Chains A and B, each alone.
Chain A
Amino acid sequence: MSSAADLLSDPAVNAYIHRLIGDDGIGLIERFPEEGEYSDEELAEKTGVNLNTVRHTLYTLYEKRLAEYRRLKNNETGWLTYLWHLRLDRVTDVIEEDIRDVLEHLDARLSYEERNDFYMCKNCGVIFTFTDAASWNFECPNCDEMLDHFDNELLATALRKRVQKIKESLGSD
């Protein structure tokens, strides 16, 4: 199984995990012992990461199946202890599931870019569809500057290629 350091050396995996758990969470993963399973308090002590951050990070990772726990019950006190370990080996599958979920947003944006003609205010940088620009008589509603045609072909082409690449790799096209 690849170590957390190996996985985090992949820029995309690193960016993905960073989006989930932030700098502090990455700090926990980098210092998480490779073997064994640990309670949140042990992890805070071993890694020097704040206990609340440890808990928050573990729950976030758990929701994505990237961490697991085993629950132990103390028969004398009835207290429960949760012993955690990481399952970062699943990260590629988890990224794939997220991509499947957001693909429809990319499709919707691509369709919008392909379907519309755009106009832009060079002062404000705001972009309008043809319909909106026409309703403002091709004058910027913020500064009255005349709107210029905005060629989105480069944007649409780049997005189209990426959507195609994603669909090919998902096997859904």
Chain B
Amino acid sequence: MTDQEEEALNLIQSHRQGVLQSELWKLLDIDSRKCSRIVKRLIDAGLIERIEFRSDGIKTYLLRAKKRAIDPSVILAGTEILPCIGCDQECTPEECPQLLDWIYQLALEEYQE
């Protein structure tokens, strides 16, 4: 995937409701023909879907990511980051005290909700 395709995909994924193709090329600061080629490649790769859309009577397309970008907050319990991230210690998840602390935070967060 080229950098521009990756940038377009990131942009589409970050808009859960989708992005209009007529807006995408402006956001990417490229011309509409180039944008069409990028969109075609992303569709062909199965990464996005294209839905017909009318904006002010003009036909365009709504582009939506097929797989939504993950919500990074799943690595947090309160303000504590999951200790397994970036951990280089020998791993025994069943007995890891750092992981237990994180699960306590998770339970606390759950209880407070």
Contacts and interface: CB of A to CB of B under 8 A. Distances in A.
Interface of A: 1-2, 10-13, 15-16, 18-20, 89-93, 95-96, 98-99, 102, 105-106, 108-109, 112-113, 154-155, 157-159, 161-162, 165-166, 169-171
Given A99-B70, A155-B104, A169-B71, A109 B94 contact: yes
B94 A108 contact: yes
B12 to A, nearest CB: 13
Contact of A19 (B13, B86, B104, B107): B86
A155 B107 contact: yes
Contacts of B68: 169
Nearest to A7: B72
B21 to A, nearest CB: 19
B73 interface: yes
B94 A112 contact: yes
Contact of A169 (B74, B79, B82, B93): B74
Interface of B: 6-7, 10, 13-14, 67-77, 79, 81-82, 84-86, 91, 93-94, 96, 99-100, 103-104, 106-107, 109-111
B70 A16 contact: no
9 contacts: A15-B75, A19-B81, A99-B70, A102-B82, A105-B91, A105-B99, A109-B96, A154-B110, A169-B71
Contacts of B77: 162
A87 B6 CA distance: 11
B8 to A, nearest CB: 11
B70 A12 contact: no
Contact of A109 (B13, B67, B93): B93
Contacts of B91: 105
A5 to B, nearest CB: 16
Contacts of A20: 86
A12 B73 contact: yes
Given A96-B70, A108-B93, A158 B86 contact: no
Contacts of B14: 2
Given A109-B94, A154-B110, A159 B103 contact: yes
Contacts of A13: 72
Contacts of A10: 72
A11 B76 contact: yes
Contact of A16 (B6, B81, B106): B81
Given A92-B10, A171-B67, 6 more contacts: A11-B73, A12-B76, A92-B69, A95-B72, A108-B94, A109-B99
A154 B107 contact: yes
A19 B110 contact: no
A42 B99 CA distance: 40
